[in-house]
Amino acid sequence: MISDIGICVVLCMETSKKEKIKQNSKWLEMESRTDIRSITRSFVDAYIEEPAQIHFIQLPQNSSEFEYPKPETRNTDLGHLIPGFANPVPSCVLPSFLFNKDGGYTAFVKFAERFKDAKEVFLCFGSMGSHEPPQVKEIALALDRSGHKFLWSLHVPPAVDAAAGTVHFKNPEEMLPEGFLERIQERGMVCGWAPQVEVLGHNAVGGFVSHCSWNSILESLWFSVPIVTWPMFAEQQLNAYMMKKLGLAVVMRLDYRKGISDVVMADEIEEGVRQVMDAGREVRKKVKKTEEMARKAVMNGGSSFNSIGRFIEDMIGNI
């Protein structure tokens, strides 16, 4: 696959081609080792124009959080923050503040206990993904009408500084339609931060409405959870397009432009949720097959296993 950094470099080099094209529907041909050899001008805009650049500028800032952790976790092994398949520490062993950010882990535990025998949809748009109030209301309306059980990770956009990260709501009722929480209390939950890997790994989850970041795609495929595409910025549009070409996603949007007054209406969101929750769809079969291939790849003799082995041997040989 093309790396995110590699894509960014190539797209910056392709800016001159972009200026020669008037319609967003036109395609830019790019050299690629994958089957995806062309992208629309609007995909390039997602990299070159605001607000996408802000999120790349923020990468060093986000990375610094690991170097300079918050006071309450400074003397704590960061690997213990969230119990999961890589670190199965029971929740009762560690202080709750370490892994219950904004009540997200508590919400997940309640969600898993209540809906363990059903199939739910999980909505999460990453740690930097957020929607303005009009869009939040459309999502809520779609979930209300769909009838499906769900867990929704809802972030509030930054109020003033566009370069600031998202914040988590203090009172969800401030952003949601009146009476929404009461109407869905028997089949849905809304939280701020959510432990995405643990949620996707739970057998109750049958669909994932996602911004299509690379990590989210890998995690959803690893746990065989089909995605509804809703890319928001950076390389996410290209990721979503790749998932479409490979038949591994239900396409809702490929060209969503956050901040351009582009509101996805409830009817479109509801249809995406209904499609991804249809267990008989071909997409679900392909995702399951991809999961099996991914797990074989990391086993002894698998492609990923062998590749990392060769990498280590090469590193040792060059010391």
Rounded Cα distance, 60 and 99, in Å: 23
Rounded Cα distance, 258 and 262, in Å: 7
Q: Report pLDDT for 317.
A: 87
Each residue's pLDDT tens digit, 226-262: 999 999 888 888 899 889 989 999 999 877 666 556 7
Residue 58 lies in a domain: no
| Domain span including residue 238 | 104-296
Residue listed under structure tokens 């209300």: 144
Neighbours of 249 (CB within 10 A): 29
Decide if pLDDT at 300 tops 50. Answer: yes
Residue 47 lies in a domain: no
Residue 7 lies in a domain: no
Rounded Cα distance, 317 and 278, in Å: 51
Mutual angle of helices 4-13 and 41-48, in 10-degree steps = 100
Decide if pLDDT at 2 tops 70. Answer: no
Rounded Cα distance, 262 and 81, in Å: 36
Q: What are the start-end ranges of the H helices in the chain?
A: 4-13, 15-19, 41-48, 52-67, 104-114, 133-146, 180-183, 196-200, 214-222, 236-245, 266-276, 282-297, 303-317
User: Which tokens hold the place of 120?
Assistant: 């739910």
User: Number of folded domains in the chain?
Assistant: 1
Residue 72 lies in a domain: no
Residue 40 lies in a domain: no
Nearest to 250 by CA among 276, 213, 271: 276
Decide if pLDDT at 30 tops 70. Answer: no
Residue 211 lies in a domain: yes
Mutual angle of helices 282-297 and 214-222, in 10-degree steps = 90
Most confident residue range from 160-164, 172-176, 178-182: 178-182
Residue 70 lies in a domain: no
Residue 95 lies in a domain: no
Neighbours of 145 (CB within 10 A): 14
Higher-scoring residue by pLDDT: 157, 93: 157
The CATH number of the domain holding residue 115 is 3.40.50.2000
Each residue's pLDDT tens digit, 268-287: 999 999 999 876 678 998 99
Once rounded to an integer, what is the mean pLDDT over residues 294-311?
A: 90
Each residue's pLDDT tens digit, 53-98: 555 545 444 444 444 444 443 444 433 334 444 444 444 444 444 4
